[in-house]
């Protein structure tokens, strides 16, 4: 199975490293580098009770939830994604919105909030279908768009038949 395409990184939350007194100086140096090179850094929280859900802010249940890791985007990834030499504050804000939406998409996957649809005509004939929508709202918009397209196509077909009928009438009475 291929890697999910994303701008951000969501490291495995189970890979925890303890910061001890002996490595605090080293950690401060790492933090300084992260601050310069990782402008988008979000905490990840998990709620695990009869299913799991994840988001970037804490849940209210202290027993079944907690921080499990973090998600981040590096300056290098921002530069590569938008072909930039300099990363602006606006681009960092844009990258943060993208990272939040990537976490939301991952949560949709975790919670089974992934949908598909099939549209059929009055006779049950398959007209259109699509699967893999993360979140119901986008799928509903796509279904509406597909129905509008099918209606327009049917109206064009009917208009074409009317033209043919008019032509036949003209030939019959000519």
What secondary structure letter does DSSP report for 9? B
Domain ranges of the chain: 21-112, 115-173
Q: What's the CA gap between 142 and 88, in Å, rounded?
A: 34
Residue 61: pLDDT over 80 = yes
Compute the mean pLDDT over every residue in the chain, rounded to the nearest whole number: 82
pLDDT at 28: 64
pLDDT at 59: 93
Non-local CB neighbours of 106 within 8 Å, separated by 6+ positions: 10, 54
Q: How confident is the model at residue 108 (pLDDT cuts 50, 70, 90)?
A: very high
pTM of the model: 0.68
> Is the CA virtual torsion 147, 148, 151, 152 positive or negative?
negative
Q: How far is CA 136 from CA 22, 70, 88, 95, 143, in A?
A: 50, 26, 33, 24, 10
Residue 13: pLDDT over 80 = no
Greater pLDDT, 48 or 16? 48
Residue 83: pLDDT over 50 = yes
> Is the CA virtual torsion 105, 107, 109, 114 positive or negative?
negative
Residue 19: pLDDT over 50 = no
pLDDT digits (tens, 9 = 90+) for 25-45: 666 666 666 667 888 888 899
Q: List the end-to-end C-alpha distance of the chain, in Å, as a whole number.
A: 67
C-beta neighbour count of 88 within 10 angstroms: 11
pLDDT at 111: 94
């Amino acid at each position: 199975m291929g890697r999910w395409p994303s701008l951000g990184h969501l490291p495995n939350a189970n890979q925890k490293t303890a910061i001890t007194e002996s490595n605090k100086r080293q950690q401060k140096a790492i933090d300084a580098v992260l601050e310069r090179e990782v402008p988008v850094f979000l905490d990840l929280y998990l709620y695990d009770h009869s299913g799991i859900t994840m988001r970037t802010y804490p849940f209210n249940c202290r027993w079944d939830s907690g921080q499990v890791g973090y998600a981040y985007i590096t300056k290098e990834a921002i530069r590569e994604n938008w072909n930039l030499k300099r990363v602006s504050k606006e681009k960092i804000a844009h990258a943060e919105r993208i990272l939040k939406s990537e976490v939301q998409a991952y949560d949709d996957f975790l919670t089974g909030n992934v949908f598909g649809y099939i549209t059929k005509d009055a006779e049950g004939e398959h007209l259109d279908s699509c699967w893999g929508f993360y979140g119901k709202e986008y799928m509903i918009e796509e279904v509406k768009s597909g129905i509008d397209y099918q209606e327009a196509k049917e109206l064009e077909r009917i208009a074409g038949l009317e033209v043919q009928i008019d032509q036949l009438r003209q030939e019959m009475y000519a």
